[in-house]
């Protein structure tokens, strides 16, 4: 299974346990949670049963969810149970039907939808786990869902499940080194620059990558997927947000929209939305962070292990592209009228693609640290760095990525995505480093993380100046 070797290895360890296991899998929609567990559960020598909650809809009831559970139960166990009327009954019946002589994986998928209308849902699940499920030493019960905040509150942070969860796995984007496989036989014929143009829009989300047509260009794919009414991604934002956040969709959309063009602190977000910096806003920001849509970047001063300043950033590439362009009716209208030809013709795309490529680096930071031969044990911090102008420094500056190590090295990483890169980049980086507040006995090492072509006339200068040079495409084409 492409790109999920680490998670599968972790799950496979549970097969050798002599006791039951309770597993939590969370992550954004389309990230491949169900696919992972279906693959794991369907391996030779074990049984697999899957139950999924109904997607939210108006006037839906708890009994609707129970009816769906009953239908799936009867289908898989070849029974004729009447509709369950309570989750205690449903879970107890499920426990009694799980095989105790053979490894059995049971997936409760989209569990937040399943339990959305019963305030005691997680408590009832806990009781049946304690009294029945856990007594089956061959059982692996997997709780999976896209609403990470619900799982966090009702499972992981709930006293009901303290000490009961064997694995807590958050599924992130696919590694960069597997995405070329989605171009199939065209993979070797398509440049890494072209692939990254597409990843700058959809990220490394498995389902989105499955929808691309590898035989056509990035721009044609964007036109078909995003701007045509029938396109898979045309209304994806609304589907994801309404399913995950329900009544809070409008509130969360406003928060994220104000971050489309710039990363902001909580105070700046409050000011832009004309709100008070209250607990409610901070809770909303935390929910969006847990859901994987926002990231909170902390500024670590050189040599410091504590950060006092932070900003919020849209972490999800498709989310930003959707809000900036697909949701914009003027942009969409032009695209539908065949005026869309390339990403570069979109308003302010040059700046937006910078955010998008930086996201790819941040979201795959482990892969880049490996390319730099930096051991995880050496890392103090690895995050964007921003410095405001004060009377005590040399001015404002922003470092795309600052990596600090325990051997007192600061790696100042410049991230570039452009057709041609020349020696001007040296002056840009030198200017940033000159403004940084320095600390004695620390070394400051410039690093270039790029995709494009380095000007042959400036190649020697650039190679001599930067401590390390990493082409992003080298990871994509592995």
Give the residue-averaged pLDDT of 472-477: 94
Question: What is the average pLDDT score of the chain?
Answer: 93
pLDDT band, residue 132 (cuts 50/70/90) = very high
Q: What domains are there in the chain, each with its CATH number?
A: 5-170 (3.40.50.300), 177-357 (1.10.10.10), 364-476 (3.40.1350.10)
pLDDT band, residue 331 (cuts 50/70/90) = low
- Beta strand 397-405 with 409-421: parallel, antiparallel or unpaired? antiparallel
pLDDT score, position 169: 96
Q: Please provide residue 414's backbone torsions phi and psi, each rounded to the nearest 5 degrees.
A: -100, 125
- pLDDT tens for 246-293 read 888 999 999 999 999 999 999 999 999 999 888 899 999 999 999 999
SS3 for the chain, per residue?
Answer: CCCCHHHHHHHHHHHHCCCCEEEEEECCCCCCHHHHHHHHHCCCCCEEEEEECCCCCCCCCHHHHHHHHHHHHHHHHCCCCCCCCCHHHHHHHHHHHCCCCCCEEEEEECHHHHCCCCCCHHHHHHHHHHHCHHHCCCEEEEEEECCHHHHHHHHHCCHHHCCCCCEEEECCCCCHHHHHHHHHHHCCCCCHHHHHHHHHHHCCCHHHHHCCCCCCCHHHHHHHHHHCCCCCCCCHHHHHHHHHHHHHHHHHHHHHHCCCCCCECHHHHHHHCCCCCCHHHHHHHHHHHHCCCEEEEEEECCCCCCEEEEEEEECCHHHHHHHHHHCCHHHHHHHHCCCCCCHHHCCCHHHHHHHHHHHHHHHCHHHHHHHCCCCHHHEEEEEEEEECCCCCCCCCEEEEEEEEECCCEEEEEEEEEEEEECCHHHHHHHHHHHHCCCCCCCEEEEEEEEEEEECCCCHHHHHHHCCEEEEHHHHHCC
pLDDT score, position 393: 85
Whether the CA torsion 204, 205, 210, 216 is positive or negative: it is negative
pLDDT score, position 267: 95
pLDDT band, residue 330 (cuts 50/70/90) = low
Give the residue-averaged pLDDT of 425-451: 95
pLDDT band, residue 333 (cuts 50/70/90) = low
* Closest to 111 measured CA to CA, from 142, 79, 132, 73: 142
pLDDT score, position 340: 74
The answer to whether 311 touches 297, Cβ cutoff 8 Å, is yes
pLDDT score, position 43: 87
- pLDDT tens for 399-416 read 999 999 999 999 999 999
Beta bridge partners of 24: 143, 168
Other Cβ atoms less than 10 A from the Cβ of 454: the count is 20
pLDDT band, residue 332 (cuts 50/70/90) = low
Give the residue-averaged pLDDT of 46-70: 95
Q: Can you tell me the distance from the alpha carbon of 433 to that of 40, in angstroms, rounded to the nearest whole number?
A: 48
pLDDT score, position 478: 79
pLDDT band, residue 305 (cuts 50/70/90) = confident
Residue 302 pLDDT exceeds 90: no
Residue 95 pLDDT exceeds 80: yes
pLDDT score, position 390: 85
Q: Please provide residue 263's backbone torsions phi and psi, each rounded to the nearest 5 degrees.
A: -80, 140
- pLDDT tens for 158-173 read 999 999 999 999 999 9
pLDDT score, position 327: 86
Q: Does this model's pTM top 0.75?
A: yes
Give the residue-averaged pLDDT of 361-382: 95
The answer to whether 334 touches 340, Cβ cutoff 8 Å, is yes
pLDDT more than 70, % of the chain: 98
Residue 69 pLDDT exceeds 90: yes
pLDDT score, position 336: 64
Q: Can you tell me the distance from the alpha carbon of 76 to that of 85, in angstroms, rounded to the nearest whole number?
A: 19
Could you give the strand order of the β-sheet that contains 139-145, starting from the edge strand earlier in sequence?
47-52, 104-109, 139-145, 21-26, 167-170
Residue 329 pLDDT exceeds 80: no
pLDDT score, position 395: 87
pLDDT score, position 449: 98
pLDDT score, position 471: 97
């Amino acid at each position: 299974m492409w790109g999920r070797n680490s998670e599968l290895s972790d799950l496979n360890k549970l097969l050798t346990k002599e006791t039951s296991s309770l597993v939590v899998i969370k992550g954004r929609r389309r990230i491949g949670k169900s696919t992972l567990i279906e693959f794991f559960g369907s391996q030779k020598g074990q049984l697999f049963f899957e139950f999924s909650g109904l997607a939210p809809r108006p006037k839906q009831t708890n009994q609707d969810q129970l009816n769906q559970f009953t239908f799936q139960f009867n289908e898989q166990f070849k029974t004729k149970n009447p509709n369950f009327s309570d989750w205690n009954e449903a879970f107890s019946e499920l426990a009694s039907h799980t095989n105790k002589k053979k490894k059995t994986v049971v997936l409760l998928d989209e569990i937040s939808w399943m339990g959305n209308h019963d305030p005691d849902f997680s408590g009832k699940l806990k009781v049946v786990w304690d009294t029945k499920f856990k007594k089956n030493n061959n059982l692996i019960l997997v709780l999976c869902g896209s609403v990470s905040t619900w799982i966090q509150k009702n499972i992981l942070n709930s006293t009901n499940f303290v000490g009961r969860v064997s694995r807590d796995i958050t599924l992130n984007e696919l590694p960069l080194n597997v995405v070329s496989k989605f171009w199939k036989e065209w993979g070797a014929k398509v440049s890494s620059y072209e692939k990254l143009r597409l990843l700058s829009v959809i990220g490394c989300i498995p389902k989105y990558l499955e929808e691309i047509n590898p035989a056509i260009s990035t721009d044609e794919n964007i036109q078909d997927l995003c701007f045509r009414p029938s396109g898979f991604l045309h209304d994806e934002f609304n589907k994801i947000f309404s399913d995950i956040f329900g009544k809070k969709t409008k509130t969360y959309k406003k928060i994220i929209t104000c971050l489309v063009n710039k990363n902001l602190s909580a105070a700046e977000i409050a000011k832009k939305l004309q709100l008070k910096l209250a607990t409610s806003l901070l809770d909303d920001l935390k929910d969006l962070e847990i859901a994987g849509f926002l990231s909170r970047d902390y500024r670590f001063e050189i040599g410091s292990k504590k950060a006092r300043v932070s900003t919020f950033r849209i972490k999800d590439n498709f989310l930003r592209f959707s809000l900036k362009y697909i949701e914009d009716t003027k942009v969409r209208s032009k695209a539908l009228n065949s005026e869309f030809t390339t990403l570069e013709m979109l308003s302010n795309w040059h700046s937006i693609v910078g955010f998008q490529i930086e996201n790819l680096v941040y979201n795959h930071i482990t892969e880049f640290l490996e390319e730099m031969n930096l051991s995880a044990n050496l890392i103090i911090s690895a995050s964007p760095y921003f410095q405001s102008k004060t009377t005590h420094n040399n001015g404002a500056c922003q470092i795309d990525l600052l990596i600090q190590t325990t051997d007192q090295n600061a790696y100042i990483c410049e991230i570039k995505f452009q057709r041609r890169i020349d020696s001007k980049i040296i002056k840009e980086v030198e200017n940033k480093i000159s403004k940084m507040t320095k600390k004695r006995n620390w070394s400051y090492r410039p690093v270039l993380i790029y995709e494009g072509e380095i000007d042959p006339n400036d190649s020697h200068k650039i190679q001599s100046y930067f401590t390390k040079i990493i082409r992003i495409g080298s990871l994509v084409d592995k």
